[in-house]
Structures are given as C-alpha cells and as structure tokens.
Amino acid sequence: MACGKVSMELPKQMKSLNGSKAYIITGHSLKTKTPVVSQIETILGSSHVGTLSSIGQHAPVKGIINGMKAVEESGADILISIGGGSPIDSAKAIIYRLNEKNPDVWLPHIAIPTTLSAAECTSIAGYTTEDDRKTAVQNPHLSPSAIIYDAELGKYTPQKLWLSSGLRALDHAIESLYHPEAVDIPTKRLALEAIRDLFNYLPKSKEAPEDLKIISHLQTAAFASLGTLGQVSSGIGLSHSLGYALGSSYGIPHGITSCLTLSSVIELKSKNEESASQLARALPYIGIESSGNSKKDAQTLAFAVDNLVKNLGLKTSLKEYNVPRDQDQIIVERALRKRDDPAFNHVLELVQKLW
C-alpha cells in the first residue's frame, strides 16, 4: 500500500477529532493518475462521504464554491485535504466560508501533504478570484487540526513539482530570517535548520526521488521552514509577494515563482544592513564560511540559491511562461499593493531582469 503511515494515523486522528463523516478535497491528477486518493478512501471505509477532485492550480474560487456546496450536501463533519498548496488552501477556504454561514461551527481538517509547499503550516487560505487575482482569508481556526506526513506519498509527486515546492519551502525559510515578526527562537532557528536540510537533501532527492529517508527529511524541513511564521498576517516577504503577483495571473506554479524570484530578492535585500546581517546567518548552514562582511555574505547566499535552482534543473524566466514585458509595472504594483511604495523602482528593476 502507498499510504503506510496514513493507514495507521488517519483512523487515530479521525477518532481524536470525533470525525465520522469525512469529505476529501484533492486535485484531478492525484485522483486519476495515482493510487493515493483511492487508497485513502478505502482506509476511511464507511466514514468516507465524498471526494472533490477538481481543485485546480492556485485554488480557483469556483472550486471552493463547488466544494462548499458538496461538503454541505454530504453532511461531512471533517475535511481531509490531500495534495499540495491548492487542495490544502481550498479546504481551509471552504471551512472559512462554511463558518460564515454558521459561526458556531469550524470543521476540523486533516491535511495530508504530497508536496513541500508547507501550506499545511499556516492559518491562511490563499485562493484565486474570478478575475485571476490572488487573495486570502485568515483565522487561527484555519490551521489544520492534524497533519499526516507520509514519505510514501512523495514518490507519486512529479519531480519538477516536488523539487520546485522544495524551493518554495526554502523561500519561506530565507524570508523568515528578516521578517519583522520573526523571533529568533523558535522561528529563525527552525528556518536555519530548514535551509540546511533543503540545500542538502533537494539535490539528493533529484538523484534518488524514491528514497523514503530523503523524502522524510524534506518533509520535516518543509514543516520547519515556516516555524511560527505561518500565523502572521503581514505576509512572508517580497519574494512571496512577487510570487502571488505572478502565480495565478500568469499561470506560473508557486514553486516556480520562488525559483524565479528568490535569489534576486536576496540580492536586493543584501543592500540593507539589517536584512543582510540576518541573511548572512545562513552561510554556515550550507557549508560556506562567513567573510565577516554581512552584505557580501548575503550576496553569496543569493549566488548559492541561484546555483541550487540551476543544479535542480529549475532555472527559468518570465519569457518561458509567455509573460509580456509590458506587464512589469503591473506585477510590481500587485506585489507591493501601492504605486507610491518607496521600494517601487528597486523592485521594478528586479522584475525587469526576470525575462
């Protein structure tokens, strides 16, 4: 069976959460191209009351509306999301909207991740509006009630998606270092451990994609990449903001947006002494000796991230995704949310180099 850990843990978690009617939220490919969803349906047995497998990339609001209706009609008392960020965030958004209708109820949610996006670690549900804009809702109740990491499931995730979602986790960890709300313990310490393991195990995962120990190390690193920062309301950082501006509007997976933006954002942040000093802390964790100059060390980190992206075969450009060059200012406005932001011209220059 593909779901060894899930088969042991899911019934336990269902019982602890008093769940008797489980509705699954997942994606089409996972449902139709792998045995994962059908096996979890079998594990649930008579407790399984339905599956929505039409959740698309970037969690379109149409899928959330359909899911909300299906969950209500099924009488489900617990949701189970299976997949990456889109199914997990969609489940959270469905729970949020159902609570708007009935404020006394927050459905429990068990997340079973199959990528390294770490959406299961946040109380935020990001989704795409009908006009292709990324938006989000947040509430402490949206954090999943339980998370089940099963290394067996990583074997079914396409390698490009798996590795690029690992870059998304690296994006979380690195931006945590200079986030204004991040505390040293546990957030930054966990982030540094995540950076070490992601740099170490992502290349190994490329060479041995079915190695369960490597998959397990990466799942732990993804969890550590957000630490307690998954609960903040002010956003993670510039690379994430650019990712949201690029993702749903131009059909670019969020893992790939991190491959596009992260090293360039680190380079930009290296010009700020405070940010540079925090970014420089990562060097010993990736086996590079500090020069004693924070700005230089931050630039070295940017170079190391760029090399990692290249070595994983994930180097890309906005041109490859057919993003018109005249969209540069629109992208920056969406990322910064205001045209008069003092960083506008610096970020515009960064974006213009992504083609």
Domain match, 214 and 83 both: no
Question: Measuring CA to CA, how many Å separate 194 from each of 102, 216, 219, 290, 342?
Answer: 39, 13, 10, 19, 32
Question: Measuring CA to CA, how many Å separate 34 from each of 27, 89, 159, 204?
Answer: 11, 21, 14, 23
Distance CA 244, CA 277 (A): 26
Query: Taking 80 as the threshold, does the pLDDT of residue 235 lie above it?
Result: no
Domain boundary among 154, 172, 192: 154
pLDDT in tens, 46-78: 999 999 998 888 778 888 999 999 999 999 999
Domain boundary among 154, 182, 198: 154
Domain match, 119 and 218 both: no
Domain match, 302 and 266 both: yes
Distance CA 14, CA 65 (A): 25
Is the Cα torsion angle 152, 157, 160, 161 positive or negative in sign?
negative
Domain match, 67 and 148 both: yes
Total count of domains within the chain: 2
CB atoms within 10 A of CB 203: 14
pLDDT in tens, 313-342: 999 999 999 999 999 999 999 999 877 788
Domain match, 172 and 310 both: yes
User: Which segment of 108-117, 145-154, 165-174, 222-231 scores lowest on mean pLDDT?
Assistant: 222-231
Domain match, 193 and 171 both: yes
Query: Could you tell me the two tokens for 19?
Result: 């769940």
Domain match, 115 and 187 both: no
Query: Taking 70 as the threshold, does the pLDDT of residue 233 lie above it?
Result: no
Is the Cα torsion angle 249, 255, 261, 262 positive or negative in sign?
positive
Domain match, 164 and 147 both: no
Domain boundary among 120, 136, 154: 154
Domain match, 148 and 228 both: no
- For residue 253, what is the domain's CATH number? 1.20.1090.10
Domain match, 168 and 314 both: yes
- Split at pLDDT 50, 70, 90, the class of 232 is low
pLDDT in tens, 5-48: 999 999 999 999 999 999 999 999 999 999 999 999 999 999 99
Domain that holds residue 123: 4-154
